[in-house]
A and B are shown apart, each in its own frame.
Chain A
Amino acid sequence: MLFLYILRRIAWSIPLLFAVSIIAFALISAPPGDYITSFAATLSESGDVVDQARLDAMRERYGLDQPFLVQYWHWISNAVQGDFGISFEWQQPVSTLIWERMSLSVTLALATLMFTWALALPIGIYSAVRKYSIGDYVVTAIGFLGLATPNFLFALVLMYIAVVYFGADVSGLFSDEYQDAPWSWAKLVDLAKHIWIPVIILGTSATASLVRIMRANLLDELHRPYVTTARAKGLSEWRLIMKYPVRIAINPFVSTIGWAFPQLISGAVITAVVLSLPTAGPLMLQALLAQDMYLAGAFILLLCCLSIIGMLVSDILLAVIDPRIRFR
């Protein structure tokens, strides 16, 4: 049954992926003029002679004189094989530019997700069990502050404090000596030393909303008759809470990975720009501003795919935890 559910759920994400790829392509072909026009502009800016015949040849090679659907087919069939076209700004195939950055983006999002859960679960349980205690009020207040601060503002304030009071530069994910070094254990350690700042910045608002969700869910459960029964039977308070209400309250909690993951991915874009992290965000922004459309399109497509995969994973996890969902 579980297997069937997973299969059905995976089958459903295929049309979603298809729709997302059309949206991504529509976005990159929306601006007036095409990639050859911008390419010609760059060439003439740098003083090169623009050969009309060469431009036409390129247009034909990339199929830019074709109708939208044909172009789309051309793009997506190559993209599935890992060829995302050429970035005209970098004069390199897009696929060589994106993978390192995408993997750092995923690492960052996963680290943030783990941080969020590790923090939100115990705090949520605490503030539900000790409702209206001082701790609960403090947590609620911090949660509201976390929700109200845009990520980039938080990043700016942290950077300001670090520079003015500690004289430290907190931007980037690596120290200078590891910037272009090949992957090694030392580089991983260096990454771990730097990644916690963006993780905290990205994690606060998600943690704040997860704490509120967990608290509300658990509060609904704590007054149920089964809790009273268990307490009357003499179960210790700790075991009682962890064993019954928390297990039910955690259910919607798991489903939040579905929206938390896309939110982390997209929130990371702005934070990464402020902190100049070598993740997908800054390069995508640069590509969008320069109308480097194949590069931008690859990023938009991959980020959308990541979100869909995140939702898929959360739905499957939910089905594993809660048997009722499988039979829907």
Chain B
Amino acid sequence: MPMNSKTETDPRALVQSPQDFASQWSLIWIAFRRHRLAMTGAIIVLMLYVVAAFSEFLAPFNPNATSAADVYHPPQMIRFIDRHDDGGWSVRPHVRSLTAERDKFTLKTTYIVNPDEKIYLQFFGKGDPYRLWGVIPMDRHFLTTADPSERFYMFGADRLGRDMLSRTIYGTRISMSIGLVGVTLSLALGLILGGVSGFYGGRVDMIIQRIVELVISLPTIPIWLGMSAALPQDWSPLTRYFAITVILSLVAWTELARVVRGRFLALRTEDFVTAARLDGCSRKRVIFRHMMPSMVSHIIASVTLAIPVMIIAETSLSFLGLGLTPPIISWGVLLKEAQNVRSIAQAPWLFIPGGAVFLAVLALNFLGDGLRDAADPYAQDTHQ
């Protein structure tokens, strides 16, 4: 019966749920979206990178501008409802002005609220001129004082009267980017060495695995300290920044190399890879068309989990004075100010950059965990 060789389509097969033809990436996205913590983490990470990208615009002042009158100025609350003396009110952001008073006996400075004076703030007001990304000349800030000669301190001021809010915002750029740059470097190292190790196997694999073992057995912080102490002191801030990044990634690549190698070895024996090979695909096509897609998601997850490690490492090194040094502003450099108990007992707001580190590391960890779960096709769906 040649007429009827075409089998009739079962009508039930036509009723498809979206998952039936979703690509791998949309499957990951569907799984990821359900993971609430990971979504929150993703949003916070995104916001931090926006702050890092537009730090000149978002910071109210020049982070290096000092003010001798405002040493250890406490944080001020921004109020939006402005009450007038005649009993009426309007919406206008402002802070209450604080005046410094020096105790004649102990010479200790205390800040007292000055009830008559308010410092008015303005969105998109004119302030310190700057060049956005070092190119575009601008002088508008997201939120600054209406009168450019006045200053306000949402996060307080440090021992030179520098605005901690502006400094923390500028620190975001360095600290968040050092994680990204460092991870890119270690990813390159990890991909090459892990890939070679997993693909060739045998003696090459043995040698690379021994190197990985050696690097893992090193206590990271003494080695990092030793390497950064060996950097010449007269290097420019930018050179130092890259040197520190390289130092951090020299130790951090091993984890990524292990992930890449492990995935390679696991995938090599998978049925679909064997099928592709038997189908006559070239080696290049097998790797890039068939193996890569199922590795990329895992690699992205490991990379996300490696960034917070880098951020903590940079912060710790700079905190000890062996990482980035003062003309550069990073969270670690800022925390160095909070090194002794006396200064933090006097000015606890110096801890705020630590809060930023905490937030960034937590958000990146949630994001990475969510990505890892979402990327695993065998994971049971346990999240609500």
Contact = CB atoms under 8 A, between A and B. Distances in A.
A23 interface: yes
B138 interface: no
Interface residues of A, number: 51
A265 interface: yes
Given A259-B216, A267-B221, A163 B341 contact: yes
Contacts of B220: 262-263, 266
A195 B293 CA distance: 50
B219 A160 contact: no
Interface string B210-236: 000110111111110111011010000
B378 to A, nearest CB: 12
Contacts of B361: 147-150
Given A148-B308, A153-B335, A266-B220, A288 B315 contact: no
A288 B316 contact: no
A136 B267 CA distance: 34
Interface in B228-265: 229-230, 232
5 contacts: A27-B227, A30-B230, A32-B232, A144-B366, A150-B315
A94 B316 CA distance: 27
A32 B234 CA distance: 12
Interface size class of B (residues with CB under 8 A): 35 or more
Contacts of A149: 358, 361
B229 A31 contact: yes
Given A147-B365, A148-B361, A288-B322, A28 B217 contact: no
B357 interface: yes
Given A145-B362, A159-B344, A299-B222, 14 more contacts: A20-B218, A27-B227, A147-B361, A147-B365, A150-B361, A152-B316, A153-B335, A263-B220, A266-B220, A269-B222, A270-B316, A288-B322, A300-B222, A307-B217
Sorted nearest first, the 9 A-B pairs with minimum C-beta distance are A266-B221, A266-B219, A30-B230, A27-B226, A288-B229, A148-B362, A148-B361, A262-B219, A153-B354
A16 B214 contact: yes
Contact of A156 (B218, B226, B344, B362): B344
Interface of A: 16, 19-20, 23-24, 27-28, 30-32, 144-145, 147-153, 156-157, 159-160, 163-164, 169, 171, 259, 262-263, 265-267, 269-270, 273-274, 284-285, 288-289, 291, 296, 299-300, 303-304, 306-308, 311
Nearest to B312: A150
Contacts of A306: 219
B225 A269 contact: yes
Interface in B327-384: 335, 338-339, 341, 344-345, 348, 351, 354, 357-358, 361-362, 365-366
A289 B322 contact: yes
A192 to B, nearest CB: 23
B217 A291 contact: no
Contact of A289 (B229, B335, B362): B229
Contact of B320 (A265, A270, A299): A270
Among B222, B226, B316, B361, chain A packs the most CB atoms within 10 A around the CB of: B222
B319 interface: yes
A288 B214 contact: no
A144 B322 contact: no
A31 B230 contact: yes
B93 interface: no
Contact of B222 (A19, A163, A259, A266): A266
Contacts of A157: 351, 354
A303 B219 contact: yes
A150 B314 CA distance: 11
B125 interface: no
A252 to B, nearest CB: 15
Among B221, B223, B358, chain A packs the most CB atoms within 10 A around the CB of: B221
Nearest to B358: A148
A307 B361 CA distance: 26
A164 B345 contact: yes
A278 B88 CA distance: 63
Contacts of A263: 219-220
Nearest to B232: A32
Nearest to B384: A132
A23 to B, nearest CB: 7
A34 B319 CA distance: 27
B161 interface: no
Contacts of B221: 266-267, 269-270
A113 to B, nearest CB: 14
Contacts of A163: 341, 345
A20 B213 CA distance: 12
A160 B319 contact: no
A144 B312 contact: no
A16 B229 CA distance: 24
B321 interface: yes
Contacts of B321: 289
A139 to B, nearest CB: 15
A263 B222 CA distance: 11
Contacts of B366: 144
Contact of A304 (B213, B222, B335, B338): B222
Contacts of A147: 361, 365
Contact of A150 (B214, B216, B316): B316
Contacts of A171: 341
Nearest to A149: B358
